[in-house]
Structure 1
Amino acid sequence: MSEMSEAAGTSGTAGADPIDPRLMPDVPGADASAEGLPPRSSLSLRQRVLVESSAIGDITLRTAVSTLLSTTVPPAVLASVVRHSGSERANLAFYADLAAEHDPAKSFPAPTEVPRISARQANPLAEYIARGMVDNIEFASSFRAINPTMRRRWSALTSNNIVRAQHWRHDDGPRPTLCVIHGFMGSSYLLNGVFFSLPWYYRSGYDVLLYTLPFHGRRAERHSPFSGFGYFAAGLNGFAESMAQAVHDFRSIINYLRHTGVDRIALTGISLGGYTSALVASVDDRLEAVIPNCPVVTLATMFDQWFPASKLVELGLWLSRINRQDLADGLAYHCPLNYAPLIAPERRMVITGLGDRMAPPEQAVKLWEHWDRCAMHWFPGSHVLHVSQLDYLRRMTRFLQQFMVD
């Protein structure tokens, strides 16, 4: 642990800061006050300009992603809705009933076995980025669909039911491990490693694990038009099962790490990965710390802002005869706000961008309030343009050091 303590202790040294991705301008953000995020009027002129200009990029990307979803998802979803409108509504009620019990153990049954891992050496570029040993690991998912009516469909999936992750590890390990969950469509190990400055954490002494969400990357089913398509291809009920599997498979990863001797595990994730990490923190108490980054929290309100996909959501609800309250009740099944967190308040932290228009900062504030107003750090950027990333990476480092380093 001495290597970790020494490296982490240098993170605030001027001119010698190893956390220096130099991806974005180093314009300081700050921790939230007791009242929450700052009003725009309290920001400096430069911060306000960065918030507003970065928001434009988010709106552009949001529209592009929404258009992609609108042109690829509806044929499969609408056909199912027209044929089985009654069962779609009944299935949503199944998840609503589970959500109403607020019981994470019942909603998300724990995997009962340590997975049998198959590992192979990653490509040379991954090892060059990490400057250490990197394995791509995989194992068969033990997930069984929560809703019995979805089990035949889920068991027929082939690529998705192989869990995948990339593991950066030290040869004298096991070490305290930082796990990272990517966002929707953003499953590239290489890009996530660079974006999150994971080589710094690795060289500071942590092992690092990048987890692939269901239906992403090599878990995407054949003929998927893009990574992550499967989350939406089976409608609201398929999304619920995707979230259940995301939690289940990550808990299998925890079983694997614990079995190999890892005694300290922290989790961070961005966007959909932030949503997943917040949900894991309400289901599993074996995390030392959790840091959702630009998290989605309430999908129902977020869908309304994603034009043109929002119009297709309205059409789907009308065809299924699902009203807004039914929708909110069903989506509560996988909403982190529906469950009490199992991680102590001082071990929770939320990061958000004031210019975020894909997962607006109001989403992060809802999680912050549900999490007893835990640590929250804001930056003057957006979902895609993480202005002041250097600032929040330093903040993350100090936060993690309290629980991961002796």
Structure 2
Amino acid sequence: MASPQTAAPQTAAPQTASPQSKSTGSSANPLATLVSPFARAGSYYARAWGAFLGGSGAGDLPVARPTLSLASHALRDELVLLGLLWRRPLSDPQAYDRINAEITEAVEFYRERGWLDDPEGFFTAPTAPEDVSIRSYTKGNRTHERLSFESGYAPHPDEPGAQRWLSYTGNHREYALILRHREPRPWLVCVHGTEMGRAGLDLTLFRAWHMHEDLGLNVALPVLPMHGPRGRGLPKGAVFPGEDVMDDVHGTAQAVWDVRRVLAWIRAEQPGARIGLNSISLGGYVASLLASLDDDLTCAILGVPPSNLVELLGRHSNLPRDDPRRRTVELARPIGAMISPLSLQPKVPPQGRFIYAGLADRIVHPRQQVLQLWNHWGRPDVGWYHGGHTGFFEARPVQRYVETALIKSGLVTAEQGKVDGTSAGR
């Protein structure tokens, strides 16, 4: 795989098209649904060759080198998308009457309070948690802690969808995995992606033990709403992110609230601690919001980050052009913008801003999602890797990029960053 580029990219990759298959729950041919990921990946590969041979492109995205590895990454992303659609099927059009009514009410609710024009006011700043429980676990010669406390999050009074959100009782308590040294150290808070929030998976994908043992960092891995242990007891179809726009709004607001409470706990435990964010996918979206609300972060590393959930989910709904459910996306656009980092100004210092993304990403489109955020953040250090959305965890260039970012930001010293390459997979 090609190494990420730390300088501003010069050329553009081929435009990737939205999936065209019909949504789950429609009368789509099951065989066509199964074949469609292969067709879309093949179409992407053909366009990649066309762009590569023609040297075409526009904007700031490097041209993707059309290798078989690139094609396999695109296919894997398409299969993941198909799996998510099967796991999270769209409701019938009639069910969208309630969703659309809530959206319409919410747009007016937010407009009256001025939050569509000034979104920072929507995100309430929490206090440090007081009812903190910490339990230690030892396996072999390694010990980690499990932090938990009452979230304390509640939607704004009379906010549409509030009572339904509060009925998801698994969200009422926040959890975080903690790896810390006996003496004060800088902290790296790792914000996970969709379908994560499980200890073993998060420790592996964030290479948390390597960050802790080899780079000398304290590491916190908070669990986002509706994920991991917070996903228990949910009614059928309740997911974050998902088709229910107001659940996505409350999920975003609570995710930001909960991680800010983890940050407040760290600062109470270790005043003056340097803190950085590392993030993946949905976590990159949450981290970009955090970095626009918290003015005392050393760095924020955004991995394959979406910049607008409503646009992202609309792109992957696979709805025919005449499907009435498309109206939901149109109605929700003001809300999607309100909870987007593109509507806030980053507060993390310019030298602490880092973004990495895959040139063949079929889930978070590099041009439609990542480049917008990169431009909004002042075109910071960016790493483009030769792979798809799900390929970051096995891409050595990504591993090197993250460690270099930690050193450049000052969270890790250059001496600590000089580790044997064999440790990269830990």
* Range of TM-score over shorter length: 0.7 to 0.9
CA contact (8 A) 1:271 1:295 kept: yes
Partner of 1:246: 255
Partner of 1:169: 180
Partner of 2:381: 375
Report how far residue 346 of structure 1 moved.
Answer: 1.4
CA contact (8 A) 1:37 1:378 kept: no
Matched, 1:265 2:267: no
Q: State the distance in 2 between where 1:247 and 1:175 align.
A: 24
Unaligned runs of 5+ in 2: 15-50, 56-61, 414-426
| Aligned mate of 1:365, from 359, 368, 371 | 371
Report how far residue 151 of structure 1 moved.
Answer: 3.7
Alpha-carbon deviations, 1:239-266, whole Å to 9, x = none?
1011001001110000000000051111
| Aligned mate of 1:301, from 311, 314, 332 | 311
Q: State the distance in 1 between where 2:225 and 2:284 align.
A: 15
CA contact (8 A) 1:143 1:248 kept: yes
Quickly say closer, same or farther: Cα 1:122–1:360, change in 2 above 3 A. farther
Q: State the distance in 2 between where 1:54 and 1:374 align.
A: 26
Partner of 1:67: 86
For 1:5-16, list aligned pairs within 5 A: none
Partner of 2:411: 404
Partner of 1:29: 4
Quickly say closer, same or farther: Cα 1:78–1:145, change in 2 above 3 A. farther
| Structure 2 letter corresponding to 1:353 | G
Q: State the distance in 1 between where 2:63 and 2:342 align.
A: 33
Alpha-carbon deviations, 1:284-328, whole Å to 9, x = none?
1121100110011123332343144x459953454xxx572x321
Quickly say closer, same or farther: Cα 1:376–1:86, change in 2 above 3 A. same
For 1:175-194, list aligned pairs within 5 A: 175-194=185-204
Q: State the distance in 1 between where 2:162 and 2:64 align.
A: 54
SS in 2 for 1:136: strand
Q: State the distance in 2 between where 1:388 and 1:305 align.
A: 26
Quickly say closer, same or farther: Cα 1:399–1:85, change in 2 above 3 A. closer
Alpha-carbon deviations, 1:222-255, whole Å to 9, x = none?
14558x725437x211210110010011100000
SS in 1 for 2:351: helix
Q: State the distance in 2 between where 1:112 and 1:78 align.
A: 41
| Structure 1 letter corresponding to 2:397 | D
SS in 2 for 1:116: coil
For 1:49-88, list aligned pairs within 5 A: 49-70=68-89, 74=91, 79=95, 81-82=96-97, 85-88=100-103
Matched, 1:213 2:224: yes
Report how far residue 52 of structure 1 moved.
Answer: 2.5
Report how far residue 330 of structure 1 moved.
Answer: 1.3
Matched, 1:348 2:367: no
Paired residues, what number?
363
Partner of 1:336: 341
Q: State the distance in 1 between where 2:251 and 2:204 align.
A: 27
Q: State the distance in 2 between where 1:178 and 1:281 align.
A: 13
Partner of 2:21: none
RMSD value over aligned CA atoms?
A: 2.9
Alpha-carbon deviations, 1:135-163, whole Å to 9, x = none?
11110012120352344334443211101
SS in 2 for 1:159: helix
Alpha-carbon deviations, 1:180-239, whole Å to 9, x = none?
11111122221121122222111121011111100111111414558x725437x21121
Q: State the distance in 1 between where 2:154 and 2:147 align.
A: 21
Unaligned runs of 5+ in 1: 1-25
Q: State the distance in 2 between where 1:45 and 1:100 align.
A: 37
Q: Which has the higher contact order (CA 8 A, sep 6+)?
A: 1
SS in 2 for 1:31: coil
Alpha-carbon deviations, 1:260-285, whole Å to 9, x = none?
00511111111111111111111111
Quickly say closer, same or farther: Cα 1:36–1:258, change in 2 above 3 A. farther
Alpha-carbon deviations, 1:95-125, whole Å to 9, x = none?
4665432341x1101003434211112363x
| Aligned mate of 1:274, from 284, 291, 295 | 284
Alpha-carbon deviations, 1:8-57, whole Å to 9, x = none?
xxxxxxxxxxxxxxxxxx64332352546667637899763322221111
